[in-house]
Chain A
Amino acid sequence: MTGGSVSSTSSASTPALRSQLSGSPRSSPAAPAAVEAIAVSRSFGPRRALDDVSLAVDGGRIEALLGPNGAGKTTLVRVLTGLVKPDAGAARVLGVDTWDCPRELRARMGLVPSGDRSLYLRISGLENLIFFGRLHGMSKSEAVARAWELLELVDLTDAARLRSGFYSHGMQKRLSIARALLTDPSVLLIDEATHDLDPEAAARMRELVRGLADKGAAVVWATQRIEEIRGFADGVTLLREGQAAFQGTVSQLIAVAAPRRYVLRLGNGRAAGHELEALLRAAVGGGTTIAAADDGDPDDFVLHLAEDTVLGSALAALAAGGIEILGCREEVSEIENAYLNLARGEE
């Protein structure tokens, strides 16, 4: 477990809060992380949705909250927003307890909730943004100007006057992001922003959020799309049944569950037949096996490495035996492998 630093600062008093809220997050080494969950637990009836989960995200970083359905991601996001009270522990944003969630703090937080029911579907995207802008205290002209600015940012200018109920899921998500950005928040909490988007729209969404993080926002990105976190998230918290099963970087996540199964495409594997396995056994030991893949292609074989065998040795042994290796790939992606192992509780 390699969670980020966890601060033990208490709730800020009003002057301290104002000072914290007016400054940039983490302006000094002693300052708390922009987003903190400290030993948070929360139950709904007999079900424990979160169990002693801690998390710290600094400004400029994206923390992926990973986990299967029911792992506790949405509950953690809701605790971080102050919409749900933890049974134990505390959630702080910019050093302030979110359960007390003063208005100044809400202006510094942006939430993109899961689902697409958080917008007024009978009015246009433009009117949605103007309405929420005014609730953030903007004058009408400020709200209108900001709304157009954001619609352009999320590429919805052409659909600005269209009822948001007519928007596609991707467009509604982009509008939801635009709403979260109304006040240029220091903290963004994004819950399942891409789960029903096509790959292009999802990539666009990640690009947008990455840009915001690069400008200094702390981002919590809850997702179950494991493939999207590589090259995007700076840190990962993997939740399993309400507990943090892993915390660290994406590389560390991959490292804790290195893949052991590869699909090899062999030029003359059929000719070698059952001799393949003997060849391997002689070179790298008995634990490593190779067998025809069940994908229907006679040239594909699945190589299952023993714990003490590295891929290079196995491939070298095959090559030395005259086997022509045309291709080699993980049977499932390394990151997916790590996710599945951790989510199932295997390490």
Chain B
Amino acid sequence: MTTLAGELRKLPAFVRRDFLVAWSYRLPFVTDWIGLAFQALMFYFVGLMVDPSKLPTFGGEPTTYLAFAAVGIAISAFMTLALGRVSVGIQQEQLAGTLESLLMTPTSPATVQLGAVVYDLIYIPIRTAVFLVVIALAFGIDFYASGLIPALVVLVVFIPFVWGLGVASAGATLTFRRGSGIVGIAMTVLVLFSGAYYPLDLLPNWIATLAELNPITIAVDGMREPLLGGTGWDGVGRAVTILLPLAAVSLALGAVAFRAALRRERRQGTLGLY
């Protein structure tokens, strides 16, 4: 327990380091937000063409396309960014030449892995929440205020699932060096069949049935119900019940894969090579 507490006390150091690094690159920081604003604007105009009656209802209430897509954009952007950053967090240390220096400190590999992404795991949910608030204010979307906390809970449960996938992907990247292509394809497929940007009933029946099991679908629907339908905690239970065990499996698999990859690299003596 003391060791765990000691390891957790190291995480703020990683957050500070990555904040300082991110702050030293001010332009990408600003352009990220500008890109997100243009994406929202684009969906606003697309939404003008979409007949709201074709969209599903949430809590029995109709919705607009922008409101429907906003949650999808938020979750898929979260997924893309978080998975992308987690999977390359260690790779970046490897590329920068700092990985061996980190491993020479009395810090566990799990802390090194978490530390490499902890800043993003804090920043990206904040970015997601800010995005939803800004888009609601800018385009007059009526999110239910009572749905904010339940939606946040779904997001929080979704984080370890994404993190686990990212850690497994980081292990693959450590082993194969260029693993981002595989991650990119997997992410695209998951987002494509998640109902993030369009209703699932537009898909062929059998794909729609499979897509119901997609964790992104579960997270997106779990957030839409309280935010767009005002269902409060009612719609959240199912999402949390499914996402929690998935998150546990994802984290366990990720940890095993990453440790195995790290050990293999040390054994081969190629840890510092990219």
Contact = CB atoms under 8 A, between A and B. Distances in A.
Interface of A: 42, 44, 75, 78, 81-85, 103-104, 106-107, 109, 111, 113, 115, 117-123, 127, 130-132, 134-137, 140, 143, 163, 179
A123 B269 contact: no
A130 B20 CA distance: 13
A136 B24 contact: no
A109 B98 contact: no
Contacts of B24: 122-123, 163
B182 to A, nearest CB: 26
Contact of B21 (A75, A84, A85, A122): A122
Contacts of B272: 83
Nearest to A124: B20
A113 B100 contact: yes
Interface stretch (B9-17, B167-175, B185-193, B208-216): B9-17
A75 B17 contact: no
A111 B103 CA distance: 11
B205 interface: no
A131 B97 contact: no
Nearest to A104: B106
B36 interface: no
Contacts of B97: 113, 115, 117-118
Contacts of B98: 117-120
B6 interface: yes
Contacts of A120: 17, 21, 96, 98
A81 B104 contact: yes
A155 B46 CA distance: 61
Interface in B73-132: 96-98, 100-108
Interface in B244-274: 266-269, 271-272
A135 B102 contact: yes
B101 A111 contact: yes
| Interface of B, helix, strand, loop or mixed by DSSP | helix
A106 B6 CA distance: 15
A106 B17 contact: no
Contacts of A115: 97
- Identify which of B6, B25, B106 gathers the most chain A CB atoms within 10 Å of its CB: B106
A117 B273 CA distance: 12
A132 B105 CA distance: 8
Nearest to A139: B9
Contacts of B100: 83, 111, 113, 118
Contacts of A118: 97-98, 100-101
B13 A137 contact: no
The CB with the most chain B CB atoms within 10 A, among A118, A127, A163, is that of A118
Contact of B271 (A83, A104, A163): A83
Decide if the interface of chain A is mainly helix, strand, loop or mixed: mixed
A125 to B, nearest CB: 13
Given A103-B107, A107-B106, A118-B100, 18 more contacts: A44-B268, A44-B269, A78-B269, A83-B269, A107-B105, A111-B101, A118-B97, A118-B101, A122-B21, A123-B21, A127-B17, A131-B14, A131-B16, A134-B10, A135-B105, A136-B105, A136-B106, A137-B9
A119 B271 CA distance: 16
Contacts of B107: 103, 135
B112 to A, nearest CB: 9
A122 B106 contact: no
20 contacts: A42-B269, A75-B269, A82-B266, A83-B104, A83-B271, A85-B267, A85-B269, A106-B104, A113-B97, A113-B100, A117-B98, A120-B98, A122-B24, A122-B25, A131-B13, A134-B9, A135-B13, A136-B106, A137-B10, A140-B12
A240 B6 CA distance: 44
Contacts of B266: 82-85
Contacts of B106: 103-104, 106-107, 135-137
A137 B268 CA distance: 29
Interface string B195-223: 00000000000000000000000000000
- Please name the 3 residue pairs, one residue from A and one from B, whose CB atoms are nearest each other, closest first: A117-B97, A103-B106, A134-B13
A79 B100 CA distance: 12
Interface string B7-39: 001101110110011001100000000000000
Contacts of B103: 83
A113 B12 CA distance: 26
Given A83-B103, A119-B98, A179-B101, A130 B13 contact: yes
Contacts of A113: 97, 100-101
B101 A137 contact: no
Chain B CB count within 10 A is highest, among A119, A135, A143, A179, for A135
A118 B100 CA distance: 8
Nearest to A43: B269
B269 A106 contact: no
A118 B103 CA distance: 11
